[in-house]
A and B are shown apart, each in its own frame.
Chain A
């Protein structure tokens, strides 16, 4: 791993070439949105500078050893390709959602949105719009978590982001139905969508994000989630990018006392998809659930890297990831739970279970516990296996053909995560997409 000292030397003029991929290509070709408040410009400048000095990651950097970074070089780096009319698929029916926003290649499509039914106390808006019109509402929020974290692609996002959305909920406001956000990609382009969700005290909201597309594009997103005391957020991301796409996402959350974040990611798409989490349980009794369901095939690679920090007493975290791998697919997990010295009675658990449908699929799992407090309960577990032969035979003995029997068992396995999703409409949307994935597999006869 190139030490920070080495980097420092480079920065001091000995060798200015960053060790990993050059960020310069991105920075020179990207088209960040001009304007916005001075504080934001300063943050962005800082991120750009940091990227120029530190570069993008290399394979000998901790946390990036399993990532086929060379693939990045093939991707377009900048320019938002002309927004073509990709169908804006919707996972929810109009009456099931509170509102909808649609982005194509990172740019808002106002005509495709539906904002009529938003109650008072709820702001859902294009970020670019908001930072022009009401930057004060973003001050101290936008960039608050991502600016300090050393995640290079999150820096790149901060530097280049042109749009995204903000969901701001006032104290005590409860948004009953989920907000649906569609990010559709099309063609060869790169974009860096930015998400800010800020929930006031004791407020409630649910968000369903859907990432879809076609072509070989790079989507490099960052979501910052700020939950005030007692707030509850359900955050569901359906990552269903085009098979040739590169999907990078960093989710960063900070939870005040008694706040709760329930996140579930359905990971199906992308040639390479990397999902990073940085969660700070900052207030007493804050709780987070970071669940994932994944289904990968072909030569897809999926990565889930999480760091959950328990910073206050009675904080709780639970992570369950269950998925299937077919073909030559790979899945990488790195999950760290860090418990600070003051976080008495903290409880954290991690579990990942992977079903391998082929002999050539692979999974790598690396849990990590860093505990600086005596009075905590932490656990982690990982299991990898094939489908149960007895279960398969039982189904076949009832006339169910092998592929269909596998599909039924896989569906049952994945549903153990889906059934914990609180909103029935969101759970139904996930089930429908999983069923479609399984039907495609059956149809291919692989």
Chain B
């Protein structure tokens, strides 16, 4: 599904990723753990296509295609989804307008018909319920004045609606209390499917008690330093990132 090979990325002239390689197969959930400043967010933004990230070497293939050659909206249409660490506020754009525009844009790119207002509402309602969100949320400007937890749940709502094939979750646990964390984790687990790959990027192990990964990778100093099974996360929790050249 996702094959990253020897990826070098600079931001503003500084090299952040220095030869990162990683493969995620369909149906798998991989965790990328690492200390602050190790390049976790850079990895997630590069995968989503954010401008300002210079790929100086390496390749990223998604379903066999050159992901880096695709515009952000093309990636989304092809099934890539990034759950943002800091979801962006859109003043004047209601949640409903945003969701419907996004959903229909992706459907259009996939050659599917637009959902009308009723179909859309039906699709959203089901998912709102499972995330303990109210329809009132959709009437408000997207993410404006939302608490950290509301913003993250909103990301999960978008993910559930857009049904991506590759979901990248960037620090989705940050800013969540334990109840919200469980809700979000339940949402993610519900989306686990044989055809879907997930990359869970996190600093802490606690999210991984709820979203149990198939593989765990340690990202430090711009590269994957070590990979292992889910027990690696527990080990990191106990010992910190010191051995990888970083304070935890």
- Are A391's CB and B88's CB within 8 A? yes
- Are A400's CB and B102's CB within 8 A? yes
In the complex, the number of residue pairs spanning A and B with C-beta atoms less than 8 Å apart equals: 82
Stretch with Cβ within 8 A of A (4 or more), from B26-34, B48-56, B124-132, B204-212: B48-56
Stretch with Cβ within 8 A of A (4 or more), from B5-13, B91-99, B185-193: B91-99
Q: How far is the CB of A157 from chain B (nearest CB, A)?
A: 37
Q: How far is the CB of A391 from chain B (nearest CB, A)?
A: 5
Is B71 part of the binding interface, using a Cβ–Cβ cutoff of 8 Å? Answer: yes
Option from A391, A396, A404 in Cβ contact (under 8 Å) with B76: A396
Is B162 part of the binding interface, using a Cβ–Cβ cutoff of 8 Å? Answer: yes
Q: Chain A residues near B97 (CB, 8 Å)? A: 408
Q: How far is the CB of A244 from chain B (nearest CB, A)?
A: 32
Contacts A402-B73, A412-B90: A393 and B105 contacting too (C-beta < 8 A)?
Answer: no
Q: Chain B residues near A405 (CB, 8 Å)? A: 73
Q: Please, what's the 1-or-0 string for B92-122, where 1 marks a CB less than 8 Å from any CB in chain A?
A: 1100011001100110010000000000000
Q: Chain A residues near B75 (CB, 8 Å)? A: 397
Q: Chain A residues near B73 (CB, 8 Å)? A: 396-397, 399-402, 405
Q: Chain B residues near A412 (CB, 8 Å)? A: 90-93, 141
Is A389 part of the binding interface, using a Cβ–Cβ cutoff of 8 Å? Answer: yes
Option from B48, B101, B109, B158 in Cβ contact (under 8 Å) with A408: B101
Is A372 part of the binding interface, using a Cβ–Cβ cutoff of 8 Å? Answer: no
Q: Chain B residues near A31 (CB, 8 Å)? A: none
Residue tally, chain A, CB below 8 Å to B: 23
Is B87 part of the binding interface, using a Cβ–Cβ cutoff of 8 Å? Answer: yes
Residue tally, chain B, CB below 8 Å to A: 31
- Are A393's CB and B93's CB within 8 A? no
Q: How far is the CB of B142 from chain A (nearest CB, A)?
A: 9
Contacts A399-B162, A408-B101: A416 and B91 contacting too (C-beta < 8 A)?
Answer: yes
Is B84 part of the binding interface, using a Cβ–Cβ cutoff of 8 Å? Answer: yes
Is B77 part of the binding interface, using a Cβ–Cβ cutoff of 8 Å? Answer: yes
List residues of B (29-79) whose CB comes within 8 Å of A's CBs.
48-52, 71-73, 75-77
Q: Chain A residues near B224 (CB, 8 Å)? A: none
CA distance A407 to B141 in the complex (A): 16
CA distance A393 to B141 in the complex (A): 17
Is A62 part of the binding interface, using a Cβ–Cβ cutoff of 8 Å? Answer: no
- Are A411's CB and B92's CB within 8 A? yes
Q: Chain B residues near A393 (CB, 8 Å)? A: 48-51, 72, 88
Is A394 part of the binding interface, using a Cβ–Cβ cutoff of 8 Å? Answer: yes
Is A390 part of the binding interface, using a Cβ–Cβ cutoff of 8 Å? Answer: yes
Is B200 part of the binding interface, using a Cβ–Cβ cutoff of 8 Å? Answer: no
Is A382 part of the binding interface, using a Cβ–Cβ cutoff of 8 Å? Answer: no
Q: Chain A residues near B91 (CB, 8 Å)? A: 412-413, 416
Q: Chain B residues near A400 (CB, 8 Å)? A: 73, 101-102, 105
- Which residue of B has the minimal Cβ distance to A415? B92
- Which residue of B has the minimal Cβ distance to A414? B92
- Are B90's CB and A399's CB within 8 A? no
- Are B76's CB and A398's CB within 8 A? yes
Interface-centre pick from A398, A408, A415, A416 (highest chain B CB count, 10 A): A398
Contacts A389-B51, A393-B50, A393-B51: A399 and B92 contacting too (C-beta < 8 A)?
Answer: no
Q: Chain B residues near A394 (CB, 8 Å)? A: 84, 87-88, 90
Is A371 part of the binding interface, using a Cβ–Cβ cutoff of 8 Å? Answer: no
Q: Chain B residues near A396 (CB, 8 Å)? A: 49, 71-73, 76
Is A395 part of the binding interface, using a Cβ–Cβ cutoff of 8 Å? Answer: yes
CA distance A405 to B51 in the complex (A): 15
- Are A398's CB and B162's CB within 8 A? yes
Q: Chain B residues near A397 (CB, 8 Å)? A: 48-50, 72-73, 75-76, 81-82, 84
- Are B105's CB and A404's CB within 8 A? yes
- Are A390's CB and B105's CB within 8 A? no
Is A409 part of the binding interface, using a Cβ–Cβ cutoff of 8 Å? Answer: yes
- Are A399's CB and B76's CB within 8 A? yes
Q: Please, what's the 1-or-0 string for B141-170, where 1 marks a CB less than 8 Å from any CB in chain A?
A: 100000000000000001000100000000
CA distance A401 to B74 in the complex (A): 8
Option from B89, B93, B158 in Cβ contact (under 8 Å) with A411: B93
Q: How far is the CB of A426 from chain B (nearest CB, A)?
A: 18
- Are B92's CB and A416's CB within 8 A? yes
Q: How far is the CB of B153 from chain A (nearest CB, A)?
A: 16
Option from A390, A391, A399, A414 in Cβ contact (under 8 Å) with B106: A399
CA distance A393 to B49 in the complex (A): 8
Can you list 27 A-B contacts (CB < 8 A)? Answer: A390-B88, A391-B89, A391-B90, A395-B90, A396-B49, A396-B71, A397-B49, A397-B50, A397-B72, A397-B82, A398-B102, A398-B105, A398-B158, A398-B162, A399-B76, A399-B77, A399-B102, A399-B105, A399-B106, A400-B105, A402-B71, A404-B105, A409-B92, A412-B90, A412-B91, A412-B92, A414-B92
Residues of B bordering A, CB below 8 Å: 48-52, 71-73, 75-77, 81-82, 84, 87-93, 97-98, 101-102, 105-106, 109, 141, 158, 162
Closest 4 CB pairs of A and B: A412-B92, A399-B76, A399-B106, A398-B102
18 additional A-B pairs beyond A394-B87, A399-B77, beta carbons within 8 Å, are: A391-B90, A393-B72, A394-B84, A395-B90, A396-B49, A398-B98, A398-B105, A398-B106, A399-B109, A400-B73, A400-B105, A402-B71, A404-B101, A408-B93, A408-B101, A411-B93, A412-B93, A414-B92
